[in-house]
Amino acid sequence: MRLAGKVAALVLLTDQLSKLAVLRGLDLAARQSIEVLPPWINFRMAWNRGVNFGLLANDAGLTRWLLVALALAIAAWVWWWVSREPHGRRVQVSAGLLVGGALGNVLDRLIYGAVADFLNMSVPGITNPWSFNVADVAIFAGALGLVLFTGGRDNPRDARKDMR
């Protein structure tokens, strides 16, 4: 459980510091776009008031608070689930990634009224119109890790059974 907490704290800190750096340090909100390693990596400012790819962004006021509540409920459930019985390192890291990322995006909604997305990756000849952030990557990686590593050999009790 301590590992999940450390990972969640690291993700939350990294996410919020990266957003401060681009919003305040690089003034991306005013500049809107900065080419870093075109077309591979660019900073493109996007205020996401909905969920992934701007879905459900129509009623921003109501959606904002529903998404805050939903993210907090999911993070709390994952935290409760991972803390109620022993889990291996991969599950702990995955849970920490998901919880830290969810809390990072919740903070954005509380502070800015929307999630600050700024990372944009494309390839030559194909321009990706969407931006994302560190929290989004952590949420995706954490959810994928929970799907892949839950119920398998990563569970300490399963590993002990295999050793008998």
**Annotated catalytic residue within 15, 27, 108, 136:** 136
Q: Is residue 113 part of a domain?
A: yes
Q: Is residue 163 part of a domain?
A: no
Q: Which range among 34-48, 86-100, 145-159 shows the weakest confidence by mean pLDDT?
A: 145-159
Concerning whether 136 is annotated as a catalytic residue, the answer is yes
pLDDT at residue 52 tops 60: no
Q: Is residue 152 part of a domain?
A: yes
The identity of residue 130, as a single letter, is W
pLDDT classification of 151: cutoffs 50, 70, 90: confident
pLDDT at residue 48 tops 50: yes
Sequence length of the chain is 164
Domain containing 153 equals: 2-157
Q: How far apart are CA 36 and CA 40, in angstroms?
A: 8
Q: Is residue 164 part of a domain?
A: no
Strand-strand pairing, 33-37 and 41-48 = antiparallel
Q: Tell me which residue has tokens 């690089």.
A: 26
- pLDDT of 116 reads 95
pLDDT classification of 79: cutoffs 50, 70, 90: very high
**Annotated catalytic residue within 117, 154, 158, 162:** 117
Nearest residue to 71 via CA among 90, 46, 52: 52
List helix spans (H) across 21-155.
Answer: 28-31, 60-83, 89-112, 134-149
Rounded to the nearest integer, the mean pLDDT of the chain is 87
Q: Is residue 68 part of a domain?
A: yes
Tell me the per-residue pLDDT of 97-143, one tens digit each, with 9 for 90 and over: 999 999 999 999 999 999 999 999 999 999 999 999 999 999 999 99
- pLDDT of 20 reads 96
Q: How far apart are CA 76 and CA 163, in angstroms?
A: 33
Q: Is residue 162 part of a domain?
A: no
Q: Is residue 21 part of a domain?
A: yes
* Structural domains of the chain, count: 1
Q: Is residue 153 part of a domain?
A: yes
Q: Tell me which residue has tokens 């990563």.
A: 154
Record the pTM.
Answer: 0.83
Q: Identify whether the C-beta of residue 9 lies closer than 8 Å to the C-beta of residue 99.
A: no
pLDDT at residue 60 tops 80: no
- pLDDT of 160 reads 44
